[in-house]
Copies of this chain bind each other. A is one copy, B any other.
Amino acid sequence: MPRILLSNDDGYLAPGLAALAKALEPLGEVQVVAPEQDRSGASNSLTLDRPLRVRTGLNGFLYLVGGTPTDCVHLAATGILPEVPDMVVSGINRGANMGDDVLYSGTVAAAMEGRFLGLPAIAVSLVGRDPEHYDSAARVAADLVRGLLSNPLPADTILNVNVPDLPYAQLRGREVTRLGRRHKSEWVIPAADPRGEPVYWIGPSGREADAGPGTDFDAVRRGYVSITPLDLDMTRYRFLESLSEWLQCCPM
């Protein structure tokens, strides 16, 4: 029976994680290692400056005190579980992870860490600010896990899945997509603390800039599950050659 490791970035008590665990239990031995707290925006950050503590929550899930999503998958795949897992499923995130936001996402990072450690991995997010249909997303995830168990994906590849917040029967299908793009972020938001000293909030994300046909934004808007293959190798191969030329502009 395959061992399926679950993690997320919303914390071990998040409803999306519980829904995912329930939906995947028929497919394998489900093991959960998740952050204690909400770590949205943690990206691939890894805790190297201190050791981590593993605890068991009241819901039976393991959690890392102060740990990031990447920490969770890393430790789970390198020795804190009795056996190394066979696959990583990250989510179900509360809210979308599409376009540029993927860069900052702890949900996507957990899946990346799994793949990086040699395990097939997918990241699943439920679109919406306060989404409800975790069961839909969980069922979508179960479908894909079934596929992964028989048909491997290329090395360096994970699937980033975004599910519209709809009942499963109302999902119009799945679309393979590329990441869309947003416009530049909004300006910083200045505020003041009670002593009158200035503080700054990071401004909201920009509006969608590239959200046309073929993008994750577009698929979700039309009621489709968006499935984007992500590449862990960040080298921009198609620019390798031109870069050599480019460098002639500024010799050492």
Question: What is the copy number of this chain in the assembly?
Answer: 4
A side interface size, CB within 8 A: 98
Q: Write the A210-235 contact mask toward B (1 if CB under 8 angstroms, else 0).
A: 00000000000000010111111111
Contact residues, A134-172 vs B (CB, 8 A): 140, 143-144, 146-147, 150-151, 153-154, 156-157, 159, 171
The answer to whether B230 and A234 touch across the interface, beta carbons within 8 angstroms, is yes
Across the interface, name the chain B residue whose C-beta is closest to A76: B188
- Asked if A10 is at the interface of the complex by the 8 Å CB criterion, the answer is no
Q: A residues near B, CB below 8 A? A: 13, 36-38, 40-54, 57-58, 65-66, 70-71, 74-75, 78-80, 100, 102-104, 109, 112, 116-118, 140, 143-144, 146-147, 150-151, 153-154, 156-157, 159, 171, 173-174, 176, 178-179, 184-191, 193-195, 197-204, 225, 227-237, 239-240, 243-244, 246-247, 249-252
